[in-house]
């Protein structure tokens, strides 16, 4: 990797290929660390390396196969049980991991309560990974004693906090399917004795010592404040958290050549395309893995609410040749009107986002075309240069069209057609 720090953010609903892009960046030059800045164990970032080795990264950074250290910042929800399982699959590379002591801990009771709540929604499910990440975030907003990573070094205090989680969530949701408290306490204190727990100054030290890659989870169209409410995540999926940790970084947006969505929620360009998925499928909690034409309208909105991007990484560039029916959608028909821009509302206005959800649910593609050069066409539609082309899952399938330069491209989108307003 050349230049300074890079933040990798998905401009869709997740699953665009952030893991393979982070792996590629970590192989192009020295990288001091991969910093995770949102989400938690629900992340599923697939990396395939020469020889066929494959791993779905969740809490370890996607540069791990290169020996690049991972740092979990305070914005990550840490699940010690899931982390132990992932570490075992990787050969226990705990020497490559540091964790901010202020990061929240996801417990088995958070996970169980998350699943009870989603089941009770029946046909009105919001979509969930069933890992308790959102439940952990919600719990912490109303309970100052929510367990955090640093508590794992103090068994007595950790026991009190874990018991409080168990008792409060059980009182709210009824009996929860979770291990006994003593078993959870033992696992969490073992986690505290195994990992290197640091304070907030560690992030600053890493950033001073060399170029770092910020690896995002999920996608901008699922953002807690900018996504289609209520089909969203309890996480800031834009560059917002990165900006709180770092003063200067390149904003790299990732998109596929076709748009995908896992689970419920609006998906204007969904279509029965023959695009089989190797690493995603129907899940009990996430629901079906859905595919559709490239939704330039929604991805332009993502660029705009993310504050713009400096460059793009476009993945699955081998897909158009395999799927002749694949198209790019540049406008919707909504309420009898053709629109090519979704107007962002005020930040944290969930009523506005819910109105957008209703409008998008009823919208249909109005303009579909097939570009001659998919990478160039997508770059022009999103008003950003293409830095990385990915023509397959392996790091050897990557091509570099653009390298970082001074300045930034900000994705302001205008057009002659009306905008979609809530």
Domains of the chain: 6-76+202-420 (3.90.170.10), 104-197 (1.10.300.10)
pLDDT in tens, 187-246: 999 999 999 999 999 999 999 999 999 999 999 999 999 999 999 998 999 999 999 999
d(CA 167, CA 109): 9
pLDDT in tens, 338-370: 999 999 999 999 999 999 999 999 999 999 999
Is residue 316 marked as binding?
A: yes
Tokens of 286: 């996430």
Is residue 317 marked as binding?
A: yes
Phi, psi of 329 (to 5 degrees): -100, 125
Mean of pLDDT over the chain: 91
**E-strand stretches of 309-385:** 311-315, 328-334, 337-339, 341-342, 364-369
**pLDDT confidence tier of residue 412, bands split at 50, 70 and 90:** very low
Is residue 167 marked as binding?
A: no
Is residue 392 marked as binding?
A: yes
**pLDDT confidence tier of residue 334, bands split at 50, 70 and 90:** very high
Q: How far is CA 262 from CA 13, 146, 268, 288, 304, in A?
A: 8, 29, 14, 6, 23
Write down the pLDDT at residue 250. Answer: 96
pLDDT beyond 70 at 261: yes
Is residue 340 marked as binding?
A: no
pLDDT beyond 70 at 125: no
Is residue 330 marked as binding?
A: no
pLDDT beyond 70 at 84: yes
Contacts of 121 (CB under 8 A, 6+ apart): none
pLDDT in tens, 173-182: 999 999 999 9
Q: How many CB atoms lie within 10 A of CB 10?
A: 27
Residues annotated as catalytic are 15, 45
Asked if residues 271 and 39 have their Cβ atoms less than 8 Å apart, the reply is no
Write down the pLDDT at residue 282. Answer: 59
Q: Report the interhelical angle of 181-194 vs 80-90 (nearest 10°).
A: 50
d(CA 95, CA 76): 19
Is residue 307 marked as binding?
A: no
pLDDT beyond 60 at 410: no
pTM of the model: 0.92
Stretch 85-96: mean pLDDT, rounded? 97
Buried-exposed string 302-326: b where 16+ CB fall within 10 A, e elsewhere = bbbbbebbbbbbbbbbebbeebeeb
Secondary structure element (H or E) that encloses residue 153, with its range: none
Stretch 400-406: mean pLDDT, rounded? 55
d(CA 279, CA 15): 9
Secondary structure element (H or E) that encloses residue 8, with its range: strand 6-10
Stretch 278-297: mean pLDDT, rounded? 78
User: If you count them, how many residues does the chain have?
Assistant: 422
Query: Checking DSSP bridges between strand 398-400 and strand 386-390, what pairing results, if any?
Result: antiparallel
Is residue 390 marked as binding?
A: yes
**E-strand stretches of 38-106:** 45-48, 54-57, 70-72, 77-78, 97-100, 104-105
| Cβ burial, residue 14 (10 Å; 0-12/13-18/19+) | buried
Asked if residues 313 and 8 have their Cβ atoms less than 8 Å apart, the reply is yes
Chain position carrying tokens 């309560």: 113
Asked if residues 317 and 389 have their Cβ atoms less than 8 Å apart, the reply is yes
Asked if residues 300 and 309 have their Cβ atoms less than 8 Å apart, the reply is no
Output the DSSP codes for 222-288. G-TTTSSTTS--SS--SSHHHHHH-SS-EEEEEEESSEEEESSS--TTB-------SS---BTTTB-
pLDDT in tens, 10-35: 999 999 999 999 999 999 889 999 99
The sign one gets for the Cα dihedral 178, 183, 189, 191 is: negative
Buried-exposed string 354-379: b where 16+ CB fall within 10 A, e elsewhere = eebbebbeebebbbbeebeebbebbb
d(CA 302, CA 297): 9
């Amino acid at each position: 990797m050349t230049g300074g720090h890079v933040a990798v953010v998905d401009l869709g609903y997740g699953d665009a290929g952030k893991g393979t892009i982070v792996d590629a960046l970590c192989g192009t030059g020295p990288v001091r660390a991969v910093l995770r800045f949102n989400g938690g164990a629900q992340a599923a970032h697939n990396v395939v390396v020469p020889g066929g080795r494959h791993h779905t990264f969740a809490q370890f950074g996607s540069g791990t196969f290169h020996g690049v250290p991972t740092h979990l910042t305070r914005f990550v929800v840490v699940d010690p049980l899931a982390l132990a399982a992932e570490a075992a699959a990787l050969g226990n590379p705990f020497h490559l991991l540091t964790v901010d002591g202020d990061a929240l801990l996801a417990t088995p009771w958070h996970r169980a309560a998350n699943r009870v709540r989603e089941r009770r929604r029946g046909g009105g499910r919001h979509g969930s990974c069933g890992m308790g990440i959102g439940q952990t975030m919600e719990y912490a907003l109303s309970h100052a004693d929510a367990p955090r990573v640093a508590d794992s070094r103090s068994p007595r205090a950790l026991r009190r906090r874990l018991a409080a989680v168990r008792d409060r969530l059980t009182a709210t949701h009824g009996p929860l399917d979770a291990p006994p408290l003593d078993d959870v306490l033992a696992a969490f204190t073992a986690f505290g004795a195994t990992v290197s727990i640091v304070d907030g100054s560690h992030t600053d030290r890493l950033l001073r010592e060399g170029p770092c890659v910020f690896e995002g989870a999920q996608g901008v169209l699922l953002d807690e404040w900018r996504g289609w409410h209520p089909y969203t995540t309890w996480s800031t999926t834009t560059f917002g958290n990165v900006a709180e940790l770092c003063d200067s970084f390149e904003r790299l947006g990732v998109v596929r050549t076709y748009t995908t969505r896992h689970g419920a929620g609006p998906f204007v360009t969904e279509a029965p395309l023959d695009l089989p998925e190797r690493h995603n499928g129907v899940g009990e909690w996430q629901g079906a893995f859905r595919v559709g034409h490239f939704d330039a309208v929604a991805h332009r909105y993502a660029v705009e609410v993310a504050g713009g991007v400096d460059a793009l990484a476009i993945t699955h560039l081998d897909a158009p040749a395999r799927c002749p029916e694949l198209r790019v959608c540049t406008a919707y028909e909504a309420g009898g009107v053709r629109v090519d821009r979704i107007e962002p509302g005020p930040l944290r206005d969930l009523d506005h986002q819910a109105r957008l959800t209703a409008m998008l649910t009823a919208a249909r593609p109005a303009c579909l075309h097939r570009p001659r050069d998919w990478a160039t066409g997508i770059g022009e539609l999103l008003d950003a240069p293409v830095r990385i082309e990915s023509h397959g899952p392996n790091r050897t399938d990557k091509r570099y069209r653009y390298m970082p330069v001074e300045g930034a491209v900000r994705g302001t989108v205008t057009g002659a057609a009306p905008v979609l307003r809530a």
